[in-house]
Amino acid sequence: MAMTKRERGLCELYAEDPERADHLVFGRRAGADRRGFLKGAGLAALGAVVGAALPFHRNYPAGLIPAALAETTEDFKIQGKSGLTLLNDRPLNAETPAHLLDDDVTPVERHFIRNNGIPPENTGAEDWTLKVDGEVSTPLELSIEDLQSRFEVVSLKLQLECGGNGRASFNPPAKGNQWTVGAIANSEWTGVRYADVLKAAGVKDSAVYTGHIGADTHLSGDPEKLPISRGVPLAKAMDPHNLIAFQMNGGPIHPMNGAPLRVVVPGWPGSCSQKWLRRIWVRDQVHDGPKMTGTSYRVPSYPVAPGEKVDKKDFVIIESMPVKSLITFPETGVELSGGAQSLEIRGHAWAGDRAVRQVQVSHDFGATWTEAELSPVPNPYAWQRWRAQIELPQAGYYEVWARATDDQGAMQPFAIAWNPKGYLNNSLHRIALRVTA
């Protein structure tokens, strides 16, 4: 059985390890001055939690739950987010339970959070600038107003998925955030085409890759270190469905989702879609920023056995994500009364750079499969709604399985294709149902 981490409520987390709780929730490092002295992103995080600035923040004791939360909830909450599950092993990472992803367009409050460092304290759009330099003829420095006035503004529904989504099911376990299935979202992003900005800068023939640099800071506090800086090959950067986005679902981007400016590169690991975007560095080589080298966001170039050691030279960079589906209705574990049932099953499917061709569901452990109805996609790289009707013939325990097939014939497997870093788990999704007489 795969090992999973038991999630703790906020009060339990503070009771067991208050310094660790401070680090996870507010970015305040263990061993910090016990008098508190919240500052920077930690102060911004606490302000977001309680919904206002703290005039006496210098007096705030370390390891103390804000009273605004202590008597009302066992769950960590952040302003503008709802229903997310906090993962306790990195700075503020949170996923969305599958049943809360039923909307065709993921609401802002239900979009997952994936951070590598400490978010910037100031995310105001007024003074934000984006630099485009490197292997370009005309380096650019653009405000958000410049982007809006100089380039065509477009809105697209685009799915973003963390490369480690599904890692919690790996056995032997893989290190990293123990995502179950909820590090996926399909919001509507508004911005300008990444390709249009690159064309305006005049990409040189020597350009082969881009590098993205954001305003988040390294966990160590060292201003010279970047927590993450990834990029994409120039050919991918020129795809017209990539955006430099400044709106999310028709409004401001949530601070934890990259406000006020981010890259959206759908179909590839979410780490390619830099948040708090400050610079696009056009390179004459494969970008070598943090989380681009070694084994980060890479998988072995050949199948490996679970637990097998793999030489670093045999890892390749993850590009297009694999075909995948998610059951969003009903919620797993639901109990239905009244004996035999006719039930709608629904969810979404997506396939990286490819398109979804088919989704099938089974309620008899794979003995038979029912083809789901697929709704048309509003634009490429949006996830696709599917629906299927199943008949549960009598009282008992059932599992509903869903599997998608892409337009190249690749189908979701039953078993996980194990790799040392826990990436690309696209095994079929299962939910549990119980029917009582």
Share of residues in the chain with pLDDT > 90 (%)? 76
DSSP letter at 322 equals P
pLDDT tier, 55 (very low <50, low <70, confident <90, very high otherwise): low
Cβ–Cβ < 8 Å for 429, 326: yes
In this predicted structure, the answer to whether residue 413 has a pLDDT above a threshold of 60 is yes
Calpha distance 115→207 (Å, rounded): 29
DSSP per-residue string spanning 386-425: EEEEEEE-SSEEEEEEEEEEETTS-B--SS----TT----
Mean pLDDT value of segment 327-335: 96
pLDDT tens string 169-197: 999 999 998 999 999 999 999 999 999 99
- Are 216 and 276 contacting, i.e. CB atoms less than 8 angstroms apart? yes
Averaged over 382-388, what is the pLDDT?
98
Domains in the chain: boundaries: 1-78, 129-317, 324-436
Q: Which residue has the tokens 């949530």?
A: 254
- pLDDT value, residue 86: 85
Between 9 and 406, whose confidence is greater? Answer: 406
- Asked if the domains at 129-317 and 324-436 fall in one CATH topology, the answer is no
**Which of 55-69, 217-231, 247-261 has the lowest average pLDDT?**
55-69
Tell me the average pLDDT across 235-243: 98
Mean pLDDT of 421-436: 96
- Alpha carbon 114 to its chain's center: 5
Please spell the DSSP secondary structure of 129-172, one letter per residue: EEEEEESBSS-EEEEHHHHHHHS-EEEEEEEEE-TTTTGGG-SS
| 75 pLDDT more than 60 | no
- Residue that wins the pLDDT comparison between 18 and 425: 425
Average pLDDT on 263-292 reads 98
The per-residue pLDDT for 221 is: 85
Higher pLDDT pick, 29 / 266: 266
Position 274 confidence tier, pLDDT thresholds 50, 70, 90:
very high
Flag whether pLDDT at 53 surpasses 70: no
Question: Given this model, what pLDDT does residue 78 score?
Answer: 75
Q: Which two tokens stand for residue 202?
A: 């005049």
CATH architecture of 324-436: Sandwich (2.60)
Residue 9's pLDDT is 52
Euclidean distance between CA atoms 113 and 255, whole angstroms? 10
Q: What homologous superfamily is domain 129-317 in, according to CATH?
A: Oxidoreductase, molybdopterin-binding domain (3.90.420.10)
**What's the pLDDT band for 281 if we cut at 50, 70, 90?**
very high
3-state secondary structure of 61: coil
Question: What three-state secondary structure class fits 373?
Answer: strand
Retrieve residue 188's tokens. 């509507």
At position 244, the amino acid (one-letter code) is: I
pLDDT at 262 (0 to 100)? 98
Its pTM stands at 0.84
Q: How far is CA 300 from CA 143, 161, 272, 313, 319, in A?
A: 40, 20, 19, 9, 13
**Residue 33: predicted pLDDT:** 43
pLDDT in tens, 13-46: 665 566 666 666 655 554 444 344 455 555 566 6
Residue 1 has pLDDT above 50, yes or no: no
**CA–CA distance, 266 with 173 (Å, rounded to integer):** 27
Nearest Cα to 142, choosing from 63, 223, 246?
246
Which residue from 428, 433, 329 is spatially nearest to 99, judged by alpha carbons?
A: 329
Per-residue confidence (pLDDT) for residue 170, from 0 to 100: 95
Per-residue pLDDT, averaged over 275-292, amounts to 98
- With cut-offs at 50, 70 and 90, classify the pLDDT of residue 92: confident
DSSP-assigned letter for residue 176: S
Whether pLDDT at 2 is above 60: no
Instruction: Give how far Cα 191 sits from Cα of 3, 149, 155, 194, 251, Å.
Output: 41, 11, 7, 9, 11
Q: Which residue has the higher pLDDT, 11 or 105?
A: 105
Per-residue pLDDT at 375: 98
